[in-house]
Amino acid sequence: MVKTANEIYKILEKGSAKLRKAETLLINQKCTPEGEEMSKAREAGEINKSLLTLGHVINALVEHSGHVPYRDSKLTRLLRDSLGGKTKTCLIATISPSIYCLDETLSTLDYAHRAKNIKNKPEMNQKMMKSVMIKDLRFEIDGLKQELLAAREKNGVFIPRDHYLQEEEEKKAMAEKIEHMELECESKDKQIMELQELYNSQLQMTTNLSDKQEKTEQKLEEAENSPSDLEEKHMQANATIKEKEFLISNLLRSGNALVERALENL
């Protein structure tokens, strides 16, 4: 928190010492064929070209275009980090209330309005030791030399040794993973076949018990029609039927449990 004007000025001076300023004169230079030298005409043409390219760059950044023409002019090359880069940028638009500067004022306001929609992503600069940077550059140079040598000899595409070893390890790990998955699939298939056979046997047993129940019911009907020992045979038949129904229900319950277990394993 600041309380006095002097404190504000101190903070502004401290911030301005860390800023990188880039002054741009966003004024369209008009060249007339009369009374101007060729150098001034060329300079005016370069300024106009740079301003036109700057407008294209701003439009591309605002519209999130895939290609931003930074390299089309020297001005946009210098402002590449400031426009859509990783730095904090302060844009100062200088305009005039005079009617004689109306075109320049409108053009400047148009630039400022479009540039206001550009979003930068500031990142802190990383400090790197000189020895580390030299080591990285030498490693990169060696890799480029080997790639160039392979390209000249036409012996295929050169891959650095570290990358090749890393790719081989990844391939080996992937092959082991695939083999493990295949073994696991074979084991699951074997379990499914065993459960299917068990289910078929239980189903066959249930069918046999159902046939026996039908025969027992037929015998019961015949016994009900016979006059001798009707009540005793009826009781025996009921007991047999209950026993068969109990066995059938148990078998069906166990068969359903086996089917559910097989589905869960899948």
Per-residue pLDDT of the chain (266 residues; tens, 9 = 90+): 556 767 767 776 776 655 544 444 444 445 555 555 677 777 777 888 888 888 888 888 888 887 888 888 888 888 887 777 777 778 888 888 888 888 888 988 888 888 888 887 776 666 667 777 788 888 888 878 877 777 766 665 556 666 777 888 888 888 888 888 888 888 888 888 888 888 888 888 888 888 888 888 888 777 666 656 667 777 787 888 888 888 888 777 777 777 777 667 66
pLDDT at 228: 60
Domain of residue 20, residue span: 5-115
User: Would 84 be classed as within a structural domain?
Assistant: yes
Evaluate the CA torsion angle 181, 183, 188, 189 in order and state its sign. positive
The reply to whether 12 and 110 lie within a common domain is yes
User: Would 196 be classed as within a structural domain?
Assistant: yes
pLDDT at 37: 64
Among the three residues 60, 94, 115, which one is the final residue of a domain in this structure? Answer: 115
User: Would 99 be classed as within a structural domain?
Assistant: yes
**H helix runs in the chain, sequence order:** 5-18, 38-62, 74-78, 102-115, 130-153, 161-225, 230-265
Among the three residues 59, 84, 115, which one is the final residue of a domain in this structure? Answer: 115
Please state the domain count of the chain: 2
- Radius of gyration of the chain from its Cα atoms, rounded to whole angstroms: 45
The reply to whether 98 and 184 lie within a common domain is no
Among the three residues 115, 149, 178, which one is the final residue of a domain in this structure? Answer: 115
The reply to whether 185 and 239 lie within a common domain is yes
Kindly give, in sequence order, each residue whose CB lies less than 8 Å from that of residue 91, ignoring residues fewer than 6 positions away: 112, 115, 116
User: Would 12 be classed as within a structural domain?
Assistant: yes
pLDDT at 23: 47
The reply to whether 187 and 251 lie within a common domain is yes
Q: What CATH number is given to the structural domain containing 23?
A: 1.20.58.980
The reply to whether 111 and 15 lie within a common domain is yes
User: Would 148 be classed as within a structural domain?
Assistant: no
User: Would 17 be classed as within a structural domain?
Assistant: yes
User: Would 15 be classed as within a structural domain?
Assistant: yes
The reply to whether 191 and 111 lie within a common domain is no
The reply to whether 107 and 201 lie within a common domain is no
User: Would 222 be classed as within a structural domain?
Assistant: yes
Is the pTM higher than 0.75? no
Q: DSSP letters of 18-29?
A: H---------PP
